[in-house]
Amino acid sequence: MAEAIDSTDPTSDLSGGERRKMIRSIILAGGEAQVVRLAADFAVSVETIRRDLKALEDEGFVTRVYGGARAATGYVLPHIDMRIGTDRAAKERIARLALSLIEPGMSVFFSGGSTVLALAWLLREGPRIDATTVMIDIGVVLASGVQTNVCLCGGQLSASSRACTGFEAMEMISRRSFDLAFLGASGIDAQRGLLGRSEVHLQLAQVARAQSRRVAAMIPQSSMKSGERLQILNLSQLDYLITDRPPEPALFRGIEAAGGELLF
């Protein structure tokens, strides 16, 4: 449906969809934005910007606050499209390190998330593996290359993460066994271990751990101190922590004491 015309708006060359995409990028880069400033920048009315922010909130991209909006946080992750472009160099470095753990013929599980998706892009060229994932993007990327044995777990589809959750997805995972599982996470703590944002992340991590010989967590340094409160795995349940820079000494010692290996 075409956006309703606001007769009070100054002339703009941007369509509503284009403007909202740019607003989304501004909020992602700065963490938040003010309605008045956005209206001035795009030469439209305050009412138009408020409608834009309402549309972006409905899609899971932002959370509206008094006077503006901020990137979606809390127990709702920012939309996957917003996360894919952030910390790209860090995620690509982590993906290359993760690739070194994979051998031909392995059975490998991939959780959702933009960092794990970066690994899927590299795996398009091999080595050939048996891949299982809950994330549509990862399944499509793997299947677009040399990978032919790709299992996409069904279930309740999250519009913001494009990953499947719920009983059906967990049942499919629990019926398979994996040589290696790659998990994304919202944070990690030297005392509490791997952290997530919801019971969904906890359930997925626990089921994947139970079905896997080894588990690797892929976390950029920028995401390590996220303030999340939900513990999804102990450090002793991790075989590898893969990140882009040396972590703080306490975490380094914690991983070592727990018998895990740190890659950066």
Taking CA atoms, 17 is separated from 23, 168, 207, in Å, by: 10, 35, 39
pTM: 0.71
Mean pLDDT of 200-217: 96
Sign of the alpha-carbon dihedral angle for 126, 146, 166, 177: negative
Radius of gyration of the chain (CA): 20
Higher pLDDT, 83 or 245: 245
Q: Give residue-wise pLDDT tens across range 91-115.
A: 999 999 999 999 999 999 999 999 9
Lowest mean pLDDT among 30-34, 38-42, 52-56: 30-34
* Structure confidence at residue 95 (pLDDT): 96
Residue-averaged pLDDT of the chain? 87
Mean pLDDT of 20-44: 87
A 10 A CB-CB count for 216 gives 25
Sorted by where each begins, the domain ranges of the chain are 16-72, 82-263
Please choose, from the candidates 205, 200, 252, the residue with its C-alpha nearest in 3D space to the C-alpha of residue 224.
252
CATH class of the domain comprising 16-72: mainly alpha
Could you tell me which CATH number the domain at 82-263 has? 3.40.50.1360
